[in-house]
Amino acid sequence: MNLFLYISVLLLFAQGNVFAQPEQKYEDILNNTLKSQSYEHKAEEAWDIRVDSVYGKAYVKSQEAEDWSKIEKDLPLESDDTIKTNPGANIVLSFDDKGIVRIEGNTEIELSSIKKSDSVLNLLKGGLVAKINHFLDKAFKFKVQTPTAVCAIRGTEFAVEYSSFNDETGVAVFDEGKVGVTPQHSNVEKFGGFEMIIKENTEIFLGPKIRKMKKAKLQRMVFHKSRLLEVRKKIKNLREEWKPLSEKRKLALRKKIIKQNLIHEGLRKKIRNKKLKKQSDITRTKRTRPDNPGW
């Protein structure tokens, strides 16, 4: 009986202490929990990626599509879209109102993941120049991956290029930020699998003809700086002009542009095939016509 009474008193005392805690503490706990849940949800959101401008000819193909569609301004892009540009062309992509990526000519790139918590641009060949605002937290990750390196972006002005001809990756950071560069595949055995951080006005190259993974002052990739001026201007205007779109509106706009361009491309192919057939028929007629009409 005494033991039961002793335990009861202890329980009442403990409960009294709990309920005696200030209400503010519970409010703080609740607010922190809500913030954490909201933040985790936000981190899983996808970037709203749209085509800001197009110069020259550029094309996009979704994972399910068989044909390439011509890229136009304002086209919303989705995860697993592959983009390619003709030599001399370029396109500029906006990532919400937080970033600008300029894709250079003769480039092929896949949007492997557009989740803010784990964004991956897979650069198959060519180059890009970008400015991504500093992320709010480490939960937001942005990578550019080439066949021989992974570039972890940490809010910065940077350029990445990959040459499929000599299997070489080049990475540069301009006036702000940093990039973590980790060799992969064929470069791991040669350079090791560790990450090297490059900072302002620095570049690095990795490839079979490069003996050592070494940071250097901006030199070979300095020509990207002129393109960066356009990117800076674009991102400044983006903050002022950005207008969010609902998922429904983005999907409708995407379908309209891609369907329209696929129809136009189909018509162009038909016209081109008719011309080729006509030329082929004329050539065949000339070859089969006898030299002597009276023969």
pLDDT digit string, tens, across residues 63-81: 888 889 999 999 999 999 9
Task: Give percent of the chain above pLDDT 70.
Answer: 72
Residues 129, 95 contacting (CB under 8 angstroms): no
The pTM of this model reads 0.75
pLDDT digit string, tens, across residues 259-274: 888 766 655 666 666 6
Residues 176, 130 contacting (CB under 8 angstroms): no
Confidence class of residue 14 from pLDDT cuts 50, 70 and 90? very low
User: Could you give the C-alpha distances from 135 to 9, 139, 181, in angstroms and in order?
Assistant: 52, 9, 18
Summary mean pLDDT of the chain: 81
In angstroms, the CA 5 to CA 288 distance is 117
Q: How large is the average pLDDT for residues 212-241?
A: 92
User: Could you give the C-alpha distances from 120 to 117, 143, 160, 161, 216, in angstroms and in order?
Assistant: 10, 5, 13, 15, 26
Count CB-CB contacts under 10 A for residue 76.
20
In angstroms, the CA 182 to CA 188 distance is 8
pLDDT digit string, tens, across residues 34-60: 344 343 444 458 999 999 999 999 999
Structure tokens at 100: 């600008």
CATH of domain 49-241: 2.60.120.1440
Where along the chain do its domains lie? 6-43, 49-241
Question: Which pLDDT belongs to residue 29?
Answer: 39
Q: How large is the average pLDDT for residues 24-43?
A: 42
